[in-house]
Amino acid sequence: MNELKLLRFELFANEMKLDVDSRTLSKMYLNFLGECTFLIPGAIDILPYLKEKYTIIIITNGISEVQKKRLEKSKIKEYIDGIVVSEELKISKPNPEIFKYALKKFKCHNKSSALMIGDSLTSDILGGINSEIDTCWLNSNNIINHTNHIPTYEINTLLELKKLL
């Protein structure tokens, strides 16, 4: 992964004919990326409701330093019970091992009490399916699912979770 972080900036610098150190450029990029916090519409409204009833875990395929910094700076930090980052485990969604790790780490002994909510059919929903966990696809753009990854539930906004759960 570290090679990839540098290689993309080496390739970029070469393509743009820039005389820059790819390591410095990578560090700057990751630092700025960690400053950006983008919330899905409705997240700040639904999380207090969910937090009263459920343990909320983030499972992300992101870069650890970026994801943790984003969470620290985010308005939703107080509602999140934990984060599992693929870079730290060397396992990415949709591999069921990352879900197995998250369930064990946060003491969820019954898969039937877990729900994977995500906007990606190929990592979130397929990962939940591979892990035999119910899934809820956040289909904000109301697109047609042309994959074989069929979620247990489908919503268009996070606020629909109040009716679902």
Question: Which CATH number does the domain housing residue 47 bear?
Answer: 3.40.50.1000
Give the mean pLDDT of the chain: 92
% of residues, the chain, pLDDT over 70: 98
* pLDDT band per the 50, 70, 90 thresholds, residue 18: confident
Count of Cβ atoms closer than 10 Å to residue 124 Cβ = 24
pLDDT at residue 34 greater than cutoff 80: no
Q: How many domains does the chain have?
A: 2
**Confidence band (pLDDT; 50, 70, 90) for 77?**
very high
Range of the domain at 129: 43-164
* Whether residues 19 and 100 fall in one domain: no
pLDDT for residue 30: 80
Average pLDDT over residues 107-132: 96
Same domain, 133 and 93: yes
Same domain, yes or no: 123 and 107: yes
Q: Rounded to an integer, what distance in angstroms lies between the CA atom of residue 138 and that of residue 120?
A: 8
Q: How far apart are CA 60 and CA 148, in angstroms?
A: 22
Please tell me whether residues 65 and 142 are part of one structural domain.
Answer: yes
Per mean pLDDT, which of 15-24, 71-80, 119-128 is the most reliable?
Answer: 119-128
pLDDT band at 14 (very low <50, low <70, confident <90, very high): confident
The answer to whether residues 112 and 149 belong to one domain is: yes
Do 92 and 29 lie in a common domain?
Answer: no
Residues 124 and 127: their CA atoms lie apart, in Å, by: 5
What's the pLDDT score for residue 155? Answer: 98
pLDDT at residue 54 is higher than 90? yes
81 & 111 share domain:
yes
pLDDT of residue 48: 97
- Give the mean pLDDT of 70-93: 94
Same domain? 136 vs 160: yes
